[in-house]
């Protein structure tokens, strides 16, 4: 677990577009932060800079007190979940979730325990031997989340993880996401354009507009600013 600090961070794409400008955000250890705002306001770019998928043009990014601007994604000890689940279709739920641990040469007993624990939190215990093709969208996304967190990363990043699901499933999945984050206590950054998700999921909300932070605070203190 670790705090994440964006210190005056700017992103200018090679075509000249400034997607994120002078952003300062301090995310506490274990905090659940939501980035919200209209399409094109810079949410994904901000998340991708934290993940290392996009270079930072100016400013500094620190994870757990260390500057990580130049660090490759795999060396940042973060986990990420996207709108698409990208599960391995030929592997069972259990094998999908165990995969990052197998790659890291974790011993069988530990793999078994970590996968069981994650499955328990995510309500997947009954489905461990199924293939992804036999799961609902919500179940698939929960497997993707389980696979992301089994290695106990310093930070957990999610980009519109519920956007592919229908309205009813989204409501159910909000409960799963909250419970997962609370039980793990992992510093989490969650991107959404959905106001309800923004107001119900996190500890604090960052409202972005035109690449800048427009508001930052607990959901109950955000004012309406269309
Ligand atoms: P989102 O739903 O996150 O806003 P978009 O549909 O805007 O996603 O973007 C999808 C992909 O297209 C991303 O990889 C993004 O970096 C890229 N992209 C978005 N806008 C541009 C642009 N103006 N020029 C080039 N690539 C872009
Ligand atoms: P959001 O996630 O809030 O929808 P993005 O971070 O995807 O916003 O995009 C922020 C801005 O940066 C938009 O104006 C988008 O067009 C632009 N952008 C995103 N990706 C690229 C890219 N690869 N090249 C150029 N411009 C981009």
For residue 37, report the distance from its CA to the centre of ligand 2, in Å: 13
- Protein residue with its CA nearest to atom 16 in ligand 1: 45
Mutate to test the pocket of ligand 2, among 13, 14, 157, 209 (most ligand atoms within 8 A of CB): 13
Contact assessment for residue 85 and residue 148, using Cβ atoms and an 8 Å cutoff: no
Ligand 2 atom closest to residue 17's alpha carbon, by position in its atom list: 26
For residue 170, report the distance from its CA to the centre of ligand 1, in Å: 23
Backbone angles phi, psi at 192, to 5 degrees: -150, 155
Residue 168 CB partners (closer than 8 Å, separation 6+)? none
Inter-CA distances, 191 with 55, 92, 112, 144, 208, Å: 18, 28, 31, 16, 11
Q: Using a 6 Å cutoff on CB, does residue 104 contact ligand 2?
A: no
Determine the pLDDT at residue 191: 98
Sequence-distant contacts of 126-134: CB under 8 A, at least 24 apart: 127/93, 128/92, 128/93, 128/94, 129/92, 129/93, 129/94, 130/92, 130/93, 131/89, 131/90, 131/91, 131/92, 131/93, 132/85, 132/87, 132/88, 132/89, 132/91, 132/93, 132/96, 133/89
Ligand 2 atom closest to residue 38's alpha carbon, by position in its atom list: 3
**Residue 1 above 80 pLDDT?**
no
Calpha distance 90→50 (Å, rounded): 31
* Mean pLDDT (whole number) for 62-79: 95
The whole model's pTM is what?
0.90
**Residue 226 above 60 pLDDT?**
no
Contact assessment for residue 22 and residue 59, using Cβ atoms and an 8 Å cutoff: yes
pLDDT, tens only, 97-150: 999 999 999 999 999 999 999 999 999 999 999 999 999 999 999 999 999 999
């Amino acid at each position: 677990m670790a705090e994440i600090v964006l210190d005056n961070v700017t992103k200018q794409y090679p075509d000249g577009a400034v997607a994120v400008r002078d952003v300062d955000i301090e995310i506490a250890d274990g905090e659940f932060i939501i980035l919200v705002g209209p399409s094109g306001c810079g949410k994904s770019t901000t998340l991708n800079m934290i993940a290392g998928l996009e270079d930072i043009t100016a400013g500094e990014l620190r994870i757990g007190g260390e500057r990580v601007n130049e660090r490759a994604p795999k060396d940042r000890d973060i986990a990420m979940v996207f709108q698409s689940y990208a599960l391995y279709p030929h592997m069972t739920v259990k094998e999908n979730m165990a995969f990052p641990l197998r790659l890291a040469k974790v011993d069988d007993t530990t793999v078994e325990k970590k996968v069981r624990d994650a499955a328990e939190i995510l309500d997947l215990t009954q489905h461990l031997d199924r293939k992804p093709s036999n799961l609902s969208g919500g179940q698939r996304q929960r497997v993707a989340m389980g696979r992301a967190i089994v290695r106990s990363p310093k930070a957990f990043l999610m980009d519109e993880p519920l956007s592919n699901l229908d309205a009813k499933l989204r409501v159910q999945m909000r409960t799963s996401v909250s419970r997962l984050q609370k039980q793990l206590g992992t510093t989490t950054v969650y991107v959404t354009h959905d106001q309800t998700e923004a107001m119900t999921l996190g500890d604090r909300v960052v409202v972005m507009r035109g690449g800048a932070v427009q508001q930052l605070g607990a959901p109950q203190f955000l004012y309406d600013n269309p």
